[in-house]
Structure 1
Amino acid sequence: MSQQPNQPFQTGQQIPSILVPALEFIQDEANFYVKMNLSSYVLMPGNVISLYRGFLFKVEAPEVDLISRKENCQMTDISFDELLKIKLSRNPDIVLVSNFPCLYHPHFTLPTLSRWSSMILPPLQIQKIRWVDYEETNLSGTSGVSLGFYLLKVAKSLIYQEGYIKENTSKIANNEALEWYLQDKREHPEHYPTDRINLPSHKFKPGSSISYQTNFDSQDVDEQSNRSTQSAQLSRKIKFTIQEQKPAYTPILREKTDLKINRRLDSDFRIGHNSSMQQEFYLTKEAFQTIASHISWGKYSTSNQVEQGGILLGTVYKNPETNIIYGMAEQAVNGSLARGSAAYLEVTHETWREMLNQVDRIYPNLQIIGWYHTHPNSLDVFMSGTDQTTQRRLFSQDWQFAIVLNPHRTIWRAFYGRNSTECKGYVLSE
């Protein structure tokens, strides 16, 4: 059952099913990205080969001029159908964004610099990890291969789908990874593909139905298996149901008094078609310090190079004179068990249970009024399509908020309601 639209997310209830796209396509005024929420192998410190989930790639090609260049243009998702219409004249450049993780794959290059000793450097100073196609296809003078199908090829190779790893070719980006793959495939053929993904076939036609969602399973399996000591496990996710909860929470009627604000920490509010002045969001000093400590605000650390998140606790008020709703997050509980990557955050059932247990035990008088998560490294702070789905499913009321923070760029933005409308955000000085 899905959550009723007029019901809040409350402690003690189970988490609804949220379908996560295996592929998401994001454009902004200057760049085009593809987000692959699937698992592949990476090289961890100590030369340990592990499964890792969630990668963000930038696509560079002459044909990738997808939107008009407007001021204050925000990132938006685009459809697969649109990508099928874009014909390529040459192979595009597929570049892994951010400085973690280090893909260990026959068709992805390794950086020259050590990615582990270079984490203190800005991401642009680290050599990029690029996709190397196994076919240098001459696309000019023909009908052309679409950008959509080309990106499917990359995704199918990343999950080691049959036929998308060329074993006998001179065009190999990482010979060591190829040798490891060939040996491992002989000894453990059950490892491949490494993720259960329904990706469109090359027979897909525009206008027909398309499904590129990750499959859900009934049990939770650790995604990061140490390949030097044990067999790799398949990456899986969990499906949950939710029960209707009553009564619904409503904001408290109260006139807003003067609040002392730390102006250096105002949100990066951007006026646009999806922003509003009818809601305001406030973090108490204590709540902000809790979040800042969790995500290492203003610093580079091993843990904050991947997405992190948690829930926001507090009270929501409504000014009876102006009808402006303002949320006050008094505390935050971090999802210490959440699994993050540079482009993806998975909040498992165990993570929710651990956070909700803390709420019941420590903050029984506070309401869950929203959630927070990070976009690390060079990413902007915005609500992606997946983020908006989470907001719609779990925090759809006008008094429920979401904040997105980038700890490295020290910027954040606040959003509310089922449409992820942006509002102004503030941090109290006391």
Structure 2
Amino acid sequence: MNRSKGNNSRTVKDSNSTETEMSPNAYRLINNEEKPPDIQIGKENSWIAGVQMFVSFLLAGFGMVAASLLLDVVQHWDVFVQVPEVYILVPALLGLKGNLEMTLASRMSTHAHLGHLDKHLKPLVVGNLCLIQCQAVLVGFLAAMAAVAMGWIPRGEFDIHHAMLLCASSVLTASLASFVLGLIMIGVIVVSKKVNINPDNIATPIAASLGDLTTLALLSWIASLLFKSLGTNILLPALLIIAGAVLVPACGYVAWKNNFTKQALDEGWIPVISGMVISSTGGLILGYTVSNYKGVAVFQLVINGIGGNMAAVHASRLSTLLHTGQKEESVFSNTTKLLMLMVIPGQLIFVYTISYLKAGHTSVTPIFILIYMCAALLQVLLLLTISHYLVVWMWKLGLDPDNSAIPYLTALGDLLGTTLLGIAFHILFAIGDKDSDLGD
């Protein structure tokens, strides 16, 4: 689907390859038939929508907890100990891959509402799988290069074997994870439409939940296998990197020729790279905060994950609303209320889960809960407000929010969450709620 930049019109090619102008408030099918959306987002039953979103947030949250526990195990594997750059690679690769899967989920949810899955499922599946393959492999390579640089600069030593292992592991992990998760996400959206569940409510959190766990598991397994042949067989990593280099232009060409994904291929790069830069700023703040308050680390995963997922759901719903010509005010007010109501129960579940598993380093006291919840509520309120204005602004510029909004929002979620959590811990320390884990 193509939206020409700088104006409010859309063009798509029908079966005879003729271009059709499209109103920004009425997105037509490829065969020029108009189909009203089957779910009016602003008129959904609030309780049903709330349950759908809350369940998906719980799944996403427990997925993050599972990924954290898995990381706690694999960090002691030989490859992580002997090649510490792999550990540096983890947050960058997981963040970038998560953005790709979440934008796919948002994009496919909009297509589902517009009826495209009924008549154009095959080109949608082929185009989007090729698109995320192209993006994932290239992004995986960039993430590996960043990890190599971050490991090389402090020590001043460059190890070609470590660099090859990182690049090959990252490229193969990104490719396999994108293919598997892409198929799963498309399946989730198709099934949700069949059973009359709004995919905008569940798809992006499920993508985030499965993305972190699957990508981390694959990366650890692949890196461990390649590490066993490190120093004796450099041919295999080289072949994997070459295969990735061939895959990027091949899949990019297929996505470029596909009317459903051409615009996404054109618009998707800057948001993903910009999101990485914003998240890196949050990483610098996290490093400073953790050095003073050990307990920040585990709660940072929860506050950032929940905040980012809520902003992604809001953006996905609003983008669908704009594509289908509904009034934006309804989704802003209704969705914001629903999501804000979920913050406290959702955060309480995960805070006490962390406490029960003894995964955190901070005593969960009433004053801690109060200040932590204030930080979480403020983060989500800011993210939802930013999400609304960002999506509407992109739409007016001629950009498709399904392709561009989520990477910015998840990155801002990381930045805001880390900053507000650091402030919360500083306040706790300042008012005397000190324990050994807060830095006393």
TM-score by length of 1: 0.28
More helix by share: 2
More strand by share: 1
TM-score by length of 2: 0.27
